[in-house]
A and B are shown apart, each in its own frame.
Chain A
């Protein structure tokens, strides 16, 4: 399937499976090679590529958002900048990116909000949220969807509202503990 630029952005906005699969197949191999060439490994490439897509997703819903280059150049520019930030954070000495080919020309000036420290903290919090049990994720999701404790209790099959409240508290406590125990936590709090 061939995708035009606008439909790639719309596909990201809609979480469309085929679009996301296309984007991974088409662009991830170059991202992996770039990160590998610059002191990173495959997991780093996976992380940085995911962050680039999430950053674009956040932007796509903004009416004033427009890209003036190709989607490929845009993604690579974000990846390049995100990876540079990561290397600086890791205090890799004399950070100078080895950017060849498509990454060399990926110089589209990208909005500073792509590199917001808050996004980085959210990434850590959300990563740990996804490690919670399905049950815990659901309780918290229902709670933040403004469901009453009675409704949560009913949906989850808990015996009482009191237990729903207790369970929600326990799940949040587990989440906070996991976040605090992550070595990344102290780095991003500095």
Chain B
């Protein structure tokens, strides 16, 4: 094999990252064609990459494990159970976070230049939420469907107009409040986005609270309102929200 000068795994990695160029790329592609074992190895690496990119599924798996332990394992240590329950003691949760910080302190201290601007953190962690799927085609849903289609097509300004129309007749519509918040972020109107997110956070018993907290915290970050951002990220990192690890990472970066 011509490509033996470099480790094969390194070559596979570079090919998948799009870093392999010129003669090296040609030679590697020829080897792939000629060597079924190499091809099988390459395909395995490619598929693993694809699986890792399902970040939402991975987060869901993590959360399902936590929920399973919380609901099924009666012998679970009291502290862990407490941490898993986002509505319970903040003191215990805070202790856990302190513990986490201590265990990762070596890595933490080794960071020579960990300072990230709020703007950069926002850029790294912000991703718009996929549109809600509205099922059914009755006329009652027509304006909603249109609003979500506009959102899906990234026509956020028009989507906002349609969301506003829906909210005129149904101000408590939580999904619509939520997606008007995201549309505002997409339009760079971070302060306007805070209003619907706050509404959702204050309106208890709904499915969007965790996400609203996350996006509101990111808005505060973008607005350089570090105090409010930190307060919300702390709340998220103490909860069982699927963004708790990311919130923890952001807090570490901010507090550097």
Which residues on A are within 8 Å of B, measured CB to CB?
A: 1, 6-7, 10-11, 14-21, 24-25, 28, 46, 49-50, 53-54, 57-58, 60-63, 65-66, 118, 121-122, 125-127, 129-130, 134-135, 138, 140-142, 144-145, 147, 151, 154-157, 159, 169, 172-173, 175-176, 179
Within 8 A of A (CB), among B105-131: 107-108, 110-114, 116, 120, 124, 130
Could you say which of B57, B86, B210 contacts A14, with CB atoms under 8 Å apart? Answer: B210
Q: Is B64 an interface residue (CB 8 A)?
A: yes
Could you say which of A28, A138, A147, A154 contacts B72, with CB atoms under 8 Å apart? Answer: A28
Measured CB to CB, the nearest residue on chain A to B127 is A145
Query: CA of A157 to CA of B116 in the docked complex: distance in angstroms?
Result: 10
Q: Contact: B210 with A126, CB < 8 Å?
A: no
Q: Is B211 an interface residue (CB 8 A)?
A: yes
- Given A157-B114, A175-B48, the answer on whether A54 and B60 have CB atoms closer than 8 Å is yes
Q: Contact: A19 with B207, CB < 8 Å?
A: yes
Query: CA of A45 to CA of B67 in the docked complex: distance in angstroms?
Result: 14
Q: Which of A28, A134, A155 gathers most chain B CB within 10 Å?
A: A155
Q: Which residues of B contact A127 (CB under 8 A)?
A: 61
Q: Which 8 A-B pairs have the closest CB atoms?
A: A157-B111, A125-B51, A157-B114, A122-B51, A24-B71, A15-B242, A16-B207, A20-B67
Interface residues on B, range: 35 or more
Query: CA of A68 to CA of B249 in the docked complex: distance in angstroms?
Result: 42
Interface residue SS majority, chain B: helix
Q: Which residues of B contact A19 (CB under 8 A)?
A: 207
Which residues on B are within 8 Å of A, measured CB to CB?
A: 9-10, 13, 44-45, 47-65, 67-68, 70-72, 86, 104, 107-108, 110-114, 116, 120, 124, 130, 132-133, 135, 205, 207-208, 210-211, 239-242, 245, 249, 253
Query: CA of A135 to CA of B100 in the docked complex: distance in angstroms?
Result: 13
Q: Contact: B13 with A154, CB < 8 Å?
A: no
Measured CB to CB, the nearest residue on chain A to B63 is A15
Q: Which residues of B contact A16 (CB under 8 A)?
A: 207, 210
Query: CA of A58 to CA of B130 in the docked complex: distance in angstroms?
Result: 13
Q: Contact: B58 with A126, CB < 8 Å?
A: yes
Supplied contacts A10-B207, A151-B124, 12 more A-B pairs, CB within 8 Å: A14-B208, A28-B71, A49-B68, A62-B133, A121-B47, A125-B48, A129-B51, A135-B107, A140-B52, A154-B113, A156-B111, A157-B107
- Given A20-B67, A169-B10, the answer on whether A15 and B47 have CB atoms closer than 8 Å is no
